[in-house]
Amino acid sequence: MPEAEPLIIFAMAALEVHAHPFMNIIAVQMWLEKIFGDRNVPAYELNKFTVETLTDLMQRNVRQEKNTQLLIEDYRQKAEEYGAENRRLEGILDSLGMTSGSLSQSGVMSLRTLANLALTLNTADATDTRLLLALGWLEEETGRVGEARRTQQRLLQQLTHDIQAARIKHSTLSKALEDLESKASAEQCEVEKQAQNTLFMRNKAKEYKSHTQKMEVMLEKTRVDPSIYHQTLTQRAQELDRLKQQIVPLRKQLESYHGLPPDAIQAHVRLEELKETVSTLEEEVRRKIDVMQI
């Protein structure tokens, strides 16, 4: 495909994707061509989301490449510095007639150990001052790590304790919930039973009310004497009991008059009259009761 043709395609796509400038699409295409090199760039859909995603990836890649280049330059500079220092030290050792071949095996091992220690402690050289400072820093770092570990252990213990307490609480709440559900189920049955009883009583009350109304209408039609109603008979019975209670002291008083002159005859007559009145009332009450039973 000619070189002008991709630019025309990207320009047309940029007109469709209004949120992305034409230059961003070109920059993305150039970055993809650089990444893939001699290989063909895979086809992708030109839209807002795709262009934004590729632009973000391109920017991240460019920043990472810059950081990598800075690290490479720093390592190269350090390598040159270490090489210069190595050559300087070799010159000093050569002037003193000391070479790596002239050292004993123990000296070589000591030198390697010292070099490894310097590398481990990340010191610029193996002088006593730098090694001591590095060891002091390492000891402080060890103390901080130990303290952090102890803090984490305490936190872990506290979390374990909280988890156990939460489990116990969860178990207690679950049991309480089961009890409440069981109680609610039992109460529901009782409520349903009471509701049924209430409905039954209401229906019975309506039935009795209707029956009472019918009986009242029937009584009105038959013109029954109100004196035989239950309430009237109850009042008469109460009046009869009251009269009986009044007769008791009169009888006692009459008995006290038995030894008196003939005037006691009049009292006896009066007593007999009262007895007849009571007997009449009792007979009337029995008669009305019999009528009600019929």
pLDDT in tens, 151-184: 999 999 999 999 999 999 999 999 999 888 888 8
Chain length of the chain:
294
The answer to whether position 124 is within a domain reads no
Q: Is the CB of residue 240 less than 8 Å from the CB of residue 278?
A: yes
Q: What are phi and psi of 229, to 5 degrees?
A: -65, 155
End-to-end CA distance of the chain: 125
Q: Which two tokens stand for residue 277?
A: 């009145």
Q: Residue 263 has what pLDDT? A: 59
Q: Residue 181 has what pLDDT? A: 87
The answer to whether position 94 is within a domain reads yes
Domain final residue pick, 42, 70, 99:
99
Q: What is the mean pLDDT of residues 112-133?
A: 74
Task: Indicate the pLDDT class of residue 98, thresholds 50, 70 and 90.
Answer: low
Q: Which amino acid is at 5?
A: E
Q: Residue 2 has what pLDDT? A: 40
Residues 6+ apart with CB under 8 A from 123: 130, 131, 133, 134
The answer to whether position 266 is within a domain reads yes
DSSP state letter for 43:
P
The answer to whether position 214 is within a domain reads no
Q: Residue 1 has what pLDDT? A: 40
DSSP state letter for 42:
P
- CA 272-274-260 angle, to 5 degrees, is 50
Who has greater pLDDT, 196 or 24?
A: 196
Mean of the per-residue pLDDT values of the chain: 77
The answer to whether position 172 is within a domain reads no
Which pairs with CB-CB distance under 8 Å and at least 24 residues apart come from 135-141? none
Q: What are phi and psi of 259, to 5 degrees?
A: -90, 10
DSSP state letter for 39:
S
Q: Where are the alpha helices (DSSP H) in the chain?
A: 4-16, 22-36, 48-95, 105-121, 128-222, 230-256, 263-293
Provide the domain count of the chain.
2
Residue 246 belongs to domain spanning? 225-293
Q: Which two tokens stand for residue 64?
A: 């990472």
The answer to whether position 178 is within a domain reads no
Taking CA atoms, 70 is separated from 61, 66, 82, 263, in Å, by 14, 6, 18, 152
Instruction: Please tell me the distance from the alpha carbon of residue 11 to that of residue 28, in angstroms, as a whole number.
Output: 13
pLDDT tens profile 200-235: 899 888 888 888 888 778 767 776 666 666 777 788
Residues 6+ apart with CB under 8 A from 126: 114, 115, 117, 118
pLDDT tens profile 124-152: 666 777 778 878 888 888 888 989 999 99
Domain final residue pick, 68, 84, 99:
99
pLDDT tens profile 251-265: 777 676 555 545 566
- Computed on alpha carbons and rounded to an integer, the radius of gyration of the chain in Å comes to 61
Domain final residue pick, 81, 99, 117:
99
Give the CA count within 13 Å in the CB-facing half-sphere of 103: 14
Q: Taking the model in full, what pTM does it have?
A: 0.31
The answer to whether position 65 is within a domain reads yes
The answer to whether position 194 is within a domain reads no
Q: Which two tokens stand for residue 267?
A: 């009292």
Neighbours of 57 (CB within 10 A): 14
Quick one: 25 exposed, middle or buried, by C-beta within 10 A (0-12, 13-18, 19+)?
buried
Q: Which amino acid is at 76?
A: R
Q: Residue 182 has what pLDDT? A: 86
pLDDT at 107 over 80: no
